[in-house]
Structure 1
Amino acid sequence: MSSWGWASVFGGSAAKSKDTPKNAILNLRCTLGMLAKQEKQLQNQMDEQDAKARKNVTANKGGGCHASMAKAALRRKKHYEHQLELTSAQMLTIEREVSSIETANLNKESFNAMKQAQQAMKTIHGGLAIDKVDQTMEDLRELHANGEEVSEALAQGNVGQGVDEKEPDERLAEL
């Protein structure tokens, strides 16, 4: 079977690349949950060994082998403490990785948005050249000037044609 599947034909690789950070974060958070359970279990085991050591120390007052049992319990407790420290360090490392992936993903999304904005600006300004803008503005100024001249010509043409001034003067003289 070919390595080409329907997903690659219909853009599955882009979706897969977007899902990769999400899957990594989910996997890391699942691991954090598992480590938190282990941390709780180690804490319980430490408490249990501490209780055994205390019990054997109080029972040792009468003499016997209780002292060696108390020491063994304290050694186990120390071992669990070390395991707890390692587990806590692992959790911290994983939390940092989650944060790093989230930050990197946000950076990538921000970059993609800026790149898309750049493309939009190129498309918008693609047809705009300064000579074309200057020529259009000059044409508009000429058209406005022509319009003003036409308006003035029309306004002046009506002023003189309204009433013949000689006729009223002649009639006034006749009266």
Structure 2
Amino acid sequence: MTEMDLPPREAQKQRGGVVSQKAGGKKEKGPTPEEAIQKLKETEKILIKKQEFLEQKIQQELQMAKKHGIKNKRAALQALRRKKRLEQQLAQTDGTLSTLEFQREAIENATTNAEVLRTMELAAQGMKKAYQDMDIDKVDELMADITEQQEVAQQISDAISRPVGFGDVVDEDELLEELEELEQEELARDLLTVGDKEEEPPIELPSVPSTHLPAGPAPEAGEDEEALKQLAEWVS
């Protein structure tokens, strides 16, 4: 049965139901975490002021009960009843405030965690973008090329530092054999010339003069000259 076949009243109800479903299906945008935290803080301030007010009222009722005491028992009991109701309200306010504080802290922690996750996601994307043009095979090839070039450079350095000879290359073993032959010839020559050497005449030392200088007072100038003259004659 279509809408045209329904009575006017039923068709109107059906159209109204469809409209209400469309209107109800549209979700309203909720507050952001920052807005929720701000709203919770404002409510906490209100509850704190209410706590202070209730505490003052409790003290007033307590003073009122003490004031009347046994003089006006009825007024004292009414003051105590009001005090009891205020204490109940204060306890409820304390519980509500604790709940709001817990909820606010939970939202703050959730906001912090969400921000950390977004930062980590951005970091991961940045790292992925940094390595997107890199291939592990190309990296291995590059490192292999670097190693090869280093080996070539080391070989070049070794070749440059190696002493270079001019002319034909001489075998060092032949040089050692030739040196040994020269040493043998020199040794044989020394052995042959040992017996031919003439003995050198001994060195003649001058004889000690037998003349004894007379002991006595120190000689004068003439005596010194005479002694020098005798010494010169002996030496010649």
Please, what TM-score do these two structures have when normalized by structure 2? Answer: 0.53
Consecutive unaligned residues in structure 1, runs of 5 or more? 1-16, 60-65, 166-175
Q: 1:21 aligns with which of 24, 27, 33?
A: 33
**Is 1:31–2:43 an aligned residue pair?**
yes
Task: Give the superposition deviation at 1:76.
Answer: 0.9
Q: 2 CA distance for matches of 1:55 and 1:153?
A: 114
Question: Bigger CA drift: 141-150 or 34-43?
Answer: 141-150
Q: 2:55 aligns with which of 43, 46, 64?
A: 43
Paired letter, 1:128? M
Task: Give the superposition deviation at 1:112.
Answer: 1.3
Task: Give the superposition deviation at 1:154.
Answer: 4.6
Paired letter, 1:133? V
Aligned to 1:160: 165
Output aligned runs, 1:63-142, within 5 Å. 66-142=72-148
Aligned to 2:17: none
Q: 1 CA distance for matches of 2:154 and 2:87?
A: 93
Paired letter, 2:151? A
Task: Give the superposition deviation at 1:161.
Answer: 4.3
Consecutive unaligned residues in structure 2, runs of 5 or more? 1-29, 171-236
SS at match of 1:160: coil
CA deviation map 1:94-146 (0-9, x unaligned): 11011101111111111112112211221222223221111111222222233
Q: 2 CA distance for matches of 1:138 and 1:49?
A: 91
| Change over 3 Å in CA distance of 1:155–1:55 after alignment to 2 | closer
Task: Give the superposition deviation at 1:30.
Answer: 1.4
Task: Give the superposition deviation at 1:36.
Answer: 0.8
Structure in which a larger fraction of residues adopt helix: 1
Q: 2 CA distance for matches of 1:133 and 1:43?
A: 74
Task: Give the superposition deviation at 1:148.
Answer: 3.5
Task: Give the superposition deviation at 1:82.
Answer: 0.8
SS at match of 1:159: coil
Q: 1 CA distance for matches of 2:128 and 2:59?
A: 67
SS at match of 2:107: helix
Query: In angstroms, what is the RMSD of aligned CA positions?
Result: 2.5
Paired letter, 2:49? K
Aligned residues: 139
Aligned to 2:149: 143
